[in-house]
Structure 1
Amino acid sequence: MTTVFSEVAERCARVVGPCDVVADLSWPHGEATVLALRGADGREWIAKTIRQERNYVRERDAYLSWASPLNGYVPELIHHDDELRLLLLSRLPGELLFGHPDELSPDVHFQAGALTRRLHEVAPPEADPEFGARLLRKFEDVVSRADGLVPAEGVAFTGRALRELVALPPPEVVPCHRDNQPRNWLIDDVGVVRFIDLGRVERDVWMADLYRLHFDEWVTRPDLREAFLAGYGRRPSAADLALFRTYNAYSAVSTIVWAHEHEDPAFEAHGRMMLAKVLDGPA
């Protein structure tokens, strides 16, 4: 067991009693260390230490502000330590749906849509007058780091679409998961779907919680999109779809650059696929 693992387990033990690290559940990108802990009585928790201060604060505040109404369907924050950037969470029952036999089940996507709607409604929607301008600034920062990585056509289209967005009335934003996909969904042994990893949760347009699915599970399975929307209880308007295309263009460009910076060629290729799909036609 590494020194870091030992320090995390020791700090968590002050809260929940003696416990051991039983699994390292971290993703390869290195932005967080995620450990499964087990106490002598068999109880289990998740300990998550987050590399960047901004990301830690965002996730901590998401649990403090928005998780309670979803009790039992997202992890419970047991303890947080700002010095270590540590979150101690309950461990929910179930297996990851990523790679699971039910990953492409319409019922799973229906449940995910319904749970997404519950998340979006934990706080009232708010108009965000800075939404377009903020996205444009982020895009300009990403492009400044792109160094020729992104096709010129993609840069031109995205910049033009974002400048048009700035001129439109401000969209409403709601609490969004923003990494809404089967690798952050669990399914238990009776088929109940739950969400994990609130690391990217913040206010955004509601369709932000569709974009990862749009470019992955739903590409060849439009029935899953229909099931999700049925569970969500809302269909996108023409204005929603126009905004979604702009959002997806920015997300694709950002994905390409982020993945390149983190030496993740598979994710970079995924970003290029996303951008090609956006440029090919409407969302």
Structure 2
Amino acid sequence: MSDAKTLPPALRGWTEREVGCISGVRDASHPRASSRVWELERADGCRFYLTISPSARMYERETFALRHAAPALGAGRAPQLRASSAEHLALLTTAVPGRPVNELPLTAAEEYEAHRQGGMLLARLHAAGDLTGRWRAEAEEALDAVALGTDRHLEEAGDRLTPAEHALVRRLAAELRIVGPLPLGFIHGDAWPRNLLWSEHAAWIDFERSRFAPVAQEFVRMACAVWADKPRLRAACFSGYGRELTPQERHALTCLAALDAVSALTWGETHGDPFVAARGRRTLDRLTTGVFA
């Protein structure tokens, strides 16, 4: 394993105090400046991942998830937290078998099974954790918080949207506030193929956006980025999940997709990512023609 990105000496020393001498280091970061992840290997072949969170909030979320919710997925279905350092915003976790499903040459049957098991694991995750006190309050207020950002997102989008699209997004954001009580749970927050691993079974990784929220929020990325082209994977996910979304949840998902589309279109064009921008544009087109849900 090569040292493609230098691991800070202080972090290497901390890691070796936790798990022993490291014989190999590989840069495993995503292709963005804020991503700092290394795959580590001991001489005995045991592998670990060291992640520096982009922010204190993400560090707190992932630490909480790995301690209190992810274990509900079962052995080998999520990373195990070996150590964490608030000083460095660092998390040291075990490696999970498999590779992201979007990187694998899966057969149709294998892809279906990966997404079915992914849905099954999300159902376990959503039922995990203690949904009381401030956690319940935050979950109940989550949709209002999303809707409050509408004006800022539309201002940033500017003339990337037509006047009719601006009006549509504003209407759906307003409806998001009155959609009614929805099932709540502990969501992964970034559930899509990049974070769904597959080998002999499925596993979820990267919990830095996890939180208590309406569970319908879990499915925005999949609905916007995957299910439009592969509706059978939607069926697979909810087969594993054990239920379909309620009518209120489906409407909330449509409203959330509109806000995600504006954010994706703006971010993609601003950061030179045509794939993210195209996802946002396509979602807006689907919403405008009424074929999203």
Q: Secondary structure in 1 aligned to 2:88?
A: coil
SS at structure 2 position matched to 1:210: helix
Q: Which consecutive unaligned segments of at least 5 residues does structure 1 have?
A: none
For 1:10, the equivalent position in structure 2 comes to 13
Equivalent residues of 1:132, 1:162 under 8 A apart? no
Q: Equivalents in 2 of 1:47, 1:65: separation in Å? A: 19
1:221 aligns with 2:230: yes
Range with greater deviation from structure 2 (32-41 or 259-268): 259-268
The yes-or-no answer on 1:209 pairing with 2:212 is no
Match of 1:66 in 2: 69
CA contact (8 A) 2:68 2:129 kept: no
SS at match of 2:121: helix
From 67, 75, 87, the counterpart of 2:79: 75
- CA deviation vs aligned residue, 1:32-78 (integer Å, no higher than 9, x gap): 21110011221110000122222222222222221222242110111
Match of 1:156 in 2: 167
Q: 1:150 to 1:21 in 2, by over 3 A?
A: farther
What is the one-letter code of the residue matched to 1:270? R
Partner residue in 1 for 2:30:
27
The more displaced of 112-121 and 123-132 is 123-132
Q: Report the alpha carbon displacement of residue 262 of structure 1 after superposing the two structures with TM.
A: 3.3
Distance 1:13 1:152, change over 3 A: farther
Give 1:247's aligned residue: 256
Q: CA RMSD in A?
A: 2.2
**Structure in which a larger fraction of residues adopt helix:** 2
What does residue 173 of structure 1 align with? 184
Identical amino acids, percent of aligned pairs: 27
**Is residue 29–residue 262 contact of structure 1 (8 Å, CA) maintained in 2?**
no
Q: 1:117-132 maps to which residues of 2 (within 5 A)? A: 117-123=123-129, 126=136, 128-132=139-143
232, 241, 265: which is aligned to 1:256? 265
Equivalent residue number for residue 135 of structure 1: 146
Q: Which amino acid aligns with 1:157?
A: L
Select which of 254, 257, 278 maps to 2:287: 278
Kindly indicate whether residue 102 of structure 2 is the aligned counterpart of residue 91 of structure 1. no
- How many equivalent residue pairs? 281
Runs of 4+ in 1 over 6 A off after TM superposition: none
| Separation of aligned partners in 2, 1:103 and 1:156 | 42
